[in-house]
Amino acid sequence: MNINTTKIISLLFFIFSAFYLYTAYQIQVFAFDENAPFNARTFPIYLGYAGLFFSGLKLILPDPNTIKVDHKSLEYKKTGLLILIAIIYGATILKVGYFLTTSLFLFVSYYFLGERRWILMFLLSFPFVAAFMYLLHGILDIYLRDPFLQSIGVMG
């Protein structure tokens, strides 16, 4: 059996399905439902077995269309950085507010992706977010929580 990354993913999925199946069996159902033809754990149990079946097949059957990925050509650094910025953005958006965090997220992301045209970067962050906020909050009446703008009295 040829071991490649697709097989490793299938193995991980197999383990995940086994864990899912174990957890499905642990679902607490009402006593009167225990022997019912269908209860809260029935469908997940079938899914667990289906996961084991398909990932098991993928593991044991030969893989004629092996996907080879050249990891050296992949841009892990920038991708990781962008994910980190997105996590920080997600962590601060509620406390600081939509306008400031989103504008900063866009500005910093442009910078890390290699952009250096400062005026364009600014225009496509702060004024752009303000216009988008106006569209959502002002025109479409979609509530946007923004403690920062509320504290300076811009938003009601």
- Asked whether the beta carbons of 126 and 100 are under 8 A apart, the reply is no
Of 44, 63, 55, nearest to 2 (Cα)?
63
- From candidates 11, 18, 44, 126, binder to other proteins by CB under 8 A: 44
Site for other proteins in 2-21 (CB under 8 A): 5-6, 9-10, 13, 17, 20
Instruction: Assess 38 for contact with other proteins (CB under 8 A).
Output: yes
User: Per CB under 8 A, does 41 bind other proteins?
Assistant: yes
Based on DSSP, count helices (H) and strands (E) in the chain, helices before strands. Answer: 7, 0
Interface with other proteins, residue 119, by CB under 8 A: no
Q: How far is the CB of 146 from other proteins (least distance, A)?
A: 11
DSSP state of 36: S
Among 1, 2, 3, 30, which residue interacts with other proteins (rule: CB under 8 A)? 30
99 binds other proteins (CB under 8 A): no
- Min dist CB 82 to other proteins, Å, is 6
- Tell me if 113 contacts other proteins by CB under 8 A: yes
Of the candidates 123, 91, 87, the one whose C-alpha atom is nearest the C-alpha of residue 107 is 123
Handedness of CA 136, 138, 139, 145 (dihedral sign): positive
91 near other proteins (CB under 8 A): yes
Q: Dihedral (C-alpha) 63, 69, 71, 74: value to the nearest 10 degrees? A: -150
101 by Cβ neighbours in 10 Å (0-12 / 13-18 / 19+) ranks as buried
Complex with other proteins: residue 94 or 154, whichever CB lies closer: 94
For residue 86, state whether it binds other proteins (rule: CB under 8 A): yes
Return the beta strands (E) in the chain as ranges: none
Note whether 110 binds other proteins by CB under 8 A. Answer: yes
The answer to whether residue 93 forms part of the interface with other proteins (CB under 8 A) is yes
